[in-house]
Amino acid sequence: MNLEQALEKVRPHLTDHRYQHTLGVIKAAEELAERFDADKDKAIIASVFHDYAKFRDKEEMKRLVREKLNDKSILDYGDELLHAPCGAYYVENEVGIKDQEILDAIRYHTTGKPHMTVLEKVVFLADYIEPGRHFKGIETVREIAEHDLDKAIIEALKNTMNFLMKQNQLVFPETIATYNQLINDKKEK
C-alpha cells in the first residue's frame, strides 16, 4: 500500500484537524526515520494509521479491549489511551495490514513500552513533535530529537507525566516503565 492509498483509507475516520495532525506526524516520522535509521516506509504507514481509531465509539473500543485484546488494565487509565491498541486491531482486521512492526508502532504510540524498537520510537516521538503541535516544552524535545532519539523520548515522557500529574490523572504503568528503562539505559552508557 502506498501513501496515497493509505491516506484514502484513513481519511474518512479523521476530522479535518486530526487529518492535518496525521500529515504532520508523517512528515516528522519520515525525518526521524531517516535520521535514526528506521524503515521509512513502515514509519510512514504506521503514522498514517496511528489515529485510525481516535474517533471510534468508546464503548465499542472498551468492549474490544475486554473481549479480544490482551491488556485489560488499559481500561483503568482513561479513554484517551484506547485508540492505540484498538487502532492496531482495526488496522489489521479492516485495512488488512499484517506487518507486526507497523501494528506495534500504532499500538504503543500513546503509552510507549520498555525496549521499543526504533520504528516504535520514531512513531511515538513523531506524534509528539509533529509541526502542528504547540505547547510548553515542545521546542526542547524537537531540538533534542535532532541528535538523540532516546533522550527526546525521555523528555517527552517527562512532559507527559508532569502534565498528567498536575491534572491529578493516572499515569499508565507502561509509560512509567518506558521512562525508567530509557533512563537506566542512559546510565549504563
- Write out pLDDT tens, residues 1-44: 899 999 999 999 999 999 999 999 999 999 999 999 999 999 99
Q: Residue type at 136?
A: K
Secondary-structure percent of the chain, ordered helix, strand, coil, rounded to 5: 70, 0, 30
Mean pLDDT of the chain: 95
pLDDT band at 78, cuts 50/70/90? confident
pLDDT at 70 over 90: no
Cα–Cα distance for residue pair 172/161, rounded to 1 Å: 9
Q: How many CB atoms lie within 10 A of CB 11?
A: 12
Cα–Cα distance for residue pair 81/133, rounded to 1 Å: 19
Helix (H, G, I), strand (E, B) or coil at 120: helix
The pLDDT assigned to 71 comes to 75
Cα 36 to chain center, whole Å?
Answer: 17
Average pLDDT over residues 108-114: 97
Cα–Cα distance for residue pair 51/22, rounded to 1 Å: 8
Which domains, from first to last, does the chain contain?
3-134 (1.10.3210.10)
Q: pTM score, two decimals? A: 0.95
